[in-house]
């Protein structure tokens, strides 16, 4: 992924080599001697100097040695995209919500200009958002996948860091339903979203 890189990070004067991931609303670092998350909301200053990304919070200063990618990360942290823009939904596009999708997300879609449609609408939606909180909920994936036609995209939303449902569970059910996964993103601090589409040969 373009937003995941191997790098060295210095925190409180101590360097650590590992892997940094730039999510929608946070930076995640997993290293040999350090592991941490930096929510964008906690960042008081971010700047780039000689290929180094300097991220300051009220408690610490983190220096990521990213080389040419430092400028790109700086732009995404300083000017983060909205969730809906990150997911790819455009004004006027039909969207279907299935399962316990947060009501605030539905409200944001309406404000954005998307057209909310019921699962039984005559016109195939451009986007389907399906919320699954457990493996039992995933049993509906094959049924939902039948609504994926042409360029329709299915985002499956599931809890982060839960044993009762994992990314592997979601991916395997999507693939078993005849779809292919092409993107994963942070939906919220507590949930992840995995995007599925039809294979190119079937569109």
- Cβ proximity of 53 and 34 under 8 Å: no
Please report the beta strands in the chain, taking only residues with DSSP state E, as ranges in sequence order: 4-11, 14-22, 26-31, 35-39, 43-49, 52-57, 61-65, 94-98, 115-117, 127-131, 153-159, 180-186, 191-197
Q: Which of 80, 106, 135 is the endpoint of a domain?
A: 80
Residues 21 and 75 placed together within one structural domain of the fold: yes
Q: What is the pLDDT of residue 121?
A: 60
Q: What is the pLDDT of residue 203?
A: 80
Q: What is the pLDDT of residue 124?
A: 75
pLDDT tens across 43-76, in order? 999 999 999 999 999 989 999 999 999 999 999 8
Containing domain of residue 143, as a range?
84-202
Greater confidence, 142 or 80?
142
Does the pLDDT value for residue 128 go beyond 70? yes
Q: If we measure between CA atoms, which residue out of 64, 52, 79, 72 comes closest to residue 28? A: 64
Q: Which of 80, 109, 139 is the endpoint of a domain?
A: 80
Residues 37 and 120 placed together within one structural domain of the fold: no
Does the pLDDT value for residue 122 go beyond 70? no
Q: Taking residues 8-37, what's their average pLDDT?
A: 91
CA gap 38, 9 in Å, rounded: 13
- Cβ proximity of 114 and 80 under 8 Å: no
Q: Which of 55, 80, 105 is the endpoint of a domain?
A: 80
Cβ of 70: how many Cβ atoms within 10 Å?
20
- Sorting pLDDT into bands at 50, 70 and 90, what band is 118? confident
- What three-state secondary structure class fits 14? strand
Q: Taking residues 172-198, what's their average pLDDT?
A: 93
Q: If we measure between CA atoms, which residue out of 115, 146, 108 comes closest to residue 130? A: 146
Please report, for residues 121, 142, 160, 168, the alpha-carbon distance to residue 163 in angstroms, rounded to integers and kept in the order given.
35, 22, 9, 11
Q: How many domains does the chain have?
A: 2
Q: What is the pLDDT of residue 1?
A: 42
CA gap 65, 52 in Å, rounded: 5
- Which phi and psi (to 5°) does residue 152 adopt? -60, 140
Q: Taking residues 75-91, what's their average pLDDT?
A: 90
Q: Taking residues 76-100, what's their average pLDDT?
A: 91
Percent share of the chain, pLDDT over 70 = 98
Residues 75 and 170 placed together within one structural domain of the fold: no
Q: What is the pLDDT of residue 143?
A: 92
Residues 128 and 198 placed together within one structural domain of the fold: yes
Domain of residue 194, CATH code: 3.40.50.150
Does the pLDDT value for residue 2 go beyond 60? no
**Cα 56 from chain centroid?**
24
Q: What is the pLDDT of residue 13?
A: 87
pLDDT tens across 94-110, in order? 999 999 999 999 999 99
């Amino acid at each position: 992924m373009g937003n995941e890189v191997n790098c060295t990070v210095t925190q409180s004067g101590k360097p650590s080599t590992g892997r940094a991931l730039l999510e929608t609303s946070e930076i995640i670092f997993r290293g040999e001697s350090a592991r941490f998350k930096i929510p964008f909301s906690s960042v008081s200053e971010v700047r780039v100097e000689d290929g180094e990304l300097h991220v300051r919070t009220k408690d610490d200063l983190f220096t990521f040695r990213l080389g040419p990618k430092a400028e790109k990360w700086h732009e995404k942290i300083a000017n983060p995209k909205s969730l809906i823009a990150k997911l790819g939904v455009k004004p006027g596009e039909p969207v279907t919500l299935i399962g316990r999708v947060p009501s605030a997300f539905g409200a944001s879609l309406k404000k954005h200009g998307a057209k909310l449609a019921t699962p039984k609408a005559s016109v195939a939606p451009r986007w389907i958002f399906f919320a699954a909180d457990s493996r039992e909920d995933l049993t509906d994936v094959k049924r939902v996948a039948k609504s994926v036609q042409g360029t329709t995209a299915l985002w499956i939303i599931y809890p982060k860091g839960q044993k009762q449902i994992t990314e592997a569970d979601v991916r395997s059910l999507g693939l078993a339903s005849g779809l292919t996964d092409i993107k994963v993103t942070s939906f919220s601090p507590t949930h992840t979203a995995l995007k599925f589409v039809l294979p190119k040969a079937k569109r």
